[in-house]
Structure 1
Amino acid sequence: MSREEPTVSRDVHYVAPGSADGKHPPAHRAAKVTAIPDLNDPWTISVVVFNPTGLHFNLSVPYDETGQKPGTWHYPERKPNA
């Protein structure tokens, strides 16, 4: 996938860290870019995360190309057309 710089209002995935007790494992959540706080670092963004129980706002989320590190964002995975 190409590395397009994120833009405000773009859909992304946020990797929720899960709970400290392990009851809730890390999970991918739908998110939307709300701001690029530092134009010198466009890969750290602000997002609103859509959780099953409500919204979560995070002002400083780093990019992770692997899409696996908790507390990071990545572009949604694309499935090939069937």
Structure 2
Amino acid sequence: MQQHPAPSVGRIVHYVSYGTPRGEYTSQCRAAIITEVGDYPPDVPEEAQHNVAVPCGLAVLNPTGMFFNQGVMQSEIGREGGTWHWPERV
């Protein structure tokens, strides 16, 4: 399993859009910037924080404009709509 860094303000991530219910628009990855990082549970030591998802605030960059969202959870495996993940290495 790949180890990811702990999220921090200013990092570039991918936000996964929801898409539309009837499929006119599909779920897509969009560039986003972390604007805030939520609190880790108090029992998680700093050296283990890269293994724990915390809610983050994001500034999401869409082709037609920006939107801001708080409390977005990280999802490296499922990558369902409304979550963020680290960009794939290419």
Where does the alignment leave 5 or more consecutive residues of structure 2 unmatched?
A: 42-51
Assess if the C-alpha contact under 8 Å between 1:36 and 1:42 holds in 2: no
Identity, in percent, stands at: 39
Partner of 2:16: 15
Give the strand-richer structure, 1 or 2. Answer: 1
**TM-score normalized with structure 1 length:** 0.86
Name the larger-Rg structure: 2
CA RMSD, Structure 1 to Structure 2 (Å): 1.6
Give the helix-richer structure, 1 or 2. Answer: 2
Task: Figure out how many residues of one structure are paired with residues of the other and give that number.
Answer: 79
**TM-score normalized with structure 2 length:** 0.79
Moved over 3 A (4+): 39-42
Deviations 1:51-73 (A, max 9, x none): 00000111011010126211100
Distance 2:22 2:68 in 1: 22
Is the alpha carbon distance of 1:67 and 1:52 closer, same or farther for their aligned partners in structure 2, counting shifts above 3 Å?
farther
